[in-house]
Amino acid sequence: MGMAMETEEESATEQEQEMIELGNLSYHVVESIFSKIPLKSLVQLKIVSKTWRNSITNIRIFYPPTTSTGLIFFLKHNSYQESIFLKLHDQPQKKLSQFCTLHSSSTHNFPYLIDSCNGLLLYASLNNEFWNYHISSPVLDQYVTLPLSHHILRPACSSLVFDGWNHEFQIICFFWEEVDFDAQMMNCIVFSSELWNWRESQLRILNSELLLQDGFLRGQCYSSSVFSGEKLYWIWSLCLLVYDSKGEFFTLFPLPRNHSGKKSRKGVYSQLLWEAAGLIQFCDPVKSGFFIWSFRGKSNNFDLWRLNHFIRLNDLINDQDIRLSMGNSIKPCAFNKDLQVLYLHVMPHTIVSCSFETREFVQVWSYCHARGEAEDCWICKIHPFVFTSVDLLAFNKLRPLDY
């Protein structure tokens, strides 16, 4: 009897202590507050105390984070192209059906997917000897073809700029072989949906001497761009290239060195940029895994980058629920900041996720699993995609849409 009373007193004391730690707020109020905090911040708050950890764990179960950002896969079959759109979900437990759902898929004749930005897609095709770009709003099933752009003999890197709010988009194409080092200028063309034409310009490029460093290859500009805070970011060989859309100029910054002291350029196709917490993140592959850095944007090169994470591939390969071997080619393809999940493309047809919250790997999607059979096709591009309705008629009412 004495022990029972002692246990009840201890339990009451613990509950009283929990109430004090939570500011004497009712659980419903605490639940409401925590449910509105982004996942990354919630994970950090778990270390405050046992009470906070237990409360946040319970809230994570009943209020899983949601996201409007999914993935688009650009697949090439023998006779046609296909775009597959996946919606992504929280991954509190390892159950395949919870991680994503197929939103839609469509076949089309656009041979190249170039970029994705806030609900719009940029495709490209060849028209005789010139590039033709096409803007698509998949949620509303709209697309429009733009005027012919540059000649195919002028190699360029092209990106879509759309902030998701203003009724205007731009396409930026810079010509990596057309740099005037003495004048610190680079040729580019810019398409404006407001004027509905292409404008060729010579724009200033700061720190252009970095293009002359050993090992820099101008044609190495394969990764997807990121548009954030009125700036456009690319990985350009050994550098980060930043375009200021307001000032209309470029700036080059050196990419970080990994802990081996050597720059990892073998995985140039596998490098990835994304934005999280207002900072640009850079994923750099090495043989044993991925270094993840955040770009600080200071003028002093020692303050440019900060190492945030290192993801070991052995943890993925040794996972019993994911059948992989060292022979598989694995590269990062997208990051979802709402779910705090990095998505990896395991060649040829599988997507695996790595949770920054739990450090667990999960197989999210497989083409063979989804279609029930293997098919002679390959995934050419994977981009994040925001599921939002963007009406192309609002950009330029004088331009007819293509259906």
Place of tokens 């993935």: 71
* Per-residue pLDDT tens over the stretch 178-225: 999 889 999 999 999 989 999 999 999 999 999 999 989 988 887 889
Contacts of 264 by beta carbon, 8 Å cutoff, 6+ apart: 258, 284, 285, 286, 291
Residue 397's pLDDT is 55
**Confidence band for 346, pLDDT divided at 50, 70 and 90:** confident
**Confidence band for 370, pLDDT divided at 50, 70 and 90:** low
Shared domain for 30 and 74, answered yes or no, is: no
**Confidence band for 114, pLDDT divided at 50, 70 and 90:** very high
Shared domain for 77 and 30, answered yes or no, is: no
Answer for the pair 194, 168: CB distance below 8 angstroms, yes or no.
yes
Place of tokens 């490098």: 271
What value, to the nearest 5°, has the Cα angle with vertex 200 and ends 196 and 203?
125
Strands 249-254 and 239-244 come out as antiparallel
Residue 13's pLDDT is 47
Residue 49's pLDDT is 75
**Confidence band for 393, pLDDT divided at 50, 70 and 90:** confident
Residue 173's pLDDT is 96
Shared domain for 45 and 139, answered yes or no, is: no
Rounded to whole angstroms, how far apart are CA atoms 371 and 353? 20
Residue 167's pLDDT is 80
Where is the domain boundary, 43, 63, 83? 63
Q: Give the bridge partners for 391, in sequence order.
A: none
Torsion over CA of 229, 230, 235 and 239, rounded to 10 degrees? -90
Shared domain for 54 and 122, answered yes or no, is: no
- Host domain of residue 59: 24-63
Shared domain for 155 and 298, answered yes or no, is: yes
Contacts of 321 by beta carbon, 8 Å cutoff, 6+ apart: 94, 362, 363
Shared domain for 126 and 56, answered yes or no, is: no
Helix axes 27-34, 50-62, angle to 10 degrees: 70
Residue 392 has pLDDT above 70, yes or no: yes
Strands 197-206 and 249-254 come out as parallel
As for how many domains the chain has, the answer is 2
Residue 12 has pLDDT above 80, yes or no: no
Write the DSSP symbol of residue 18: H
What value, to the nearest 5°, has the Cα angle with vertex 82 and ends 81 and 85?
155
- In-domain check, residue 335: no
Structure tokens at 17: 């202590």
* Per-residue pLDDT tens over the stretch 296-340: 876 555 679 999 888 887 766 665 555 554 445 788 999 999 888
CATH of the domain at 258: 2.120.10
Residue 27 has pLDDT above 80, yes or no: no
Shared domain for 122 and 79, answered yes or no, is: yes
Shared domain for 229 and 108, answered yes or no, is: yes
**Confidence band for 375, pLDDT divided at 50, 70 and 90:** low
Across 43-47, 61-65, 94-98, 300-304, least confident range: 94-98
Q: What percent of the chain has pLDDT over 70?
A: 77
- In-domain check, residue 48: yes
Shared domain for 188 and 301, answered yes or no, is: yes
The rounded mean pLDDT for the chain is: 81
**Among candidates 290, 331, 335, which has minimal Cα distance to 308?**
290
Rounded to whole angstroms, how far apart are CA atoms 136 and 76? 18
Shared domain for 58 and 165, answered yes or no, is: no
Burial class for 239, CB neighbours closer than 10 Å (0-12, 13-18, 19+): buried
The conformational region for residue 215 under phi > 0 = left, psi -120 to 50 = alpha, else beta, is left
Residue 8's pLDDT is 46
- In-domain check, residue 226: yes
Residue 9's pLDDT is 45
Q: Provide the 3-class DSSP secondary structure of residue 64.
A: coil
Please state the length of the chain: 403
Shared domain for 154 and 186, answered yes or no, is: yes
- Amino acid in position 371: R
Report for 47-61, 150-164, 263-277: range of highest mean pLDDT: 150-164
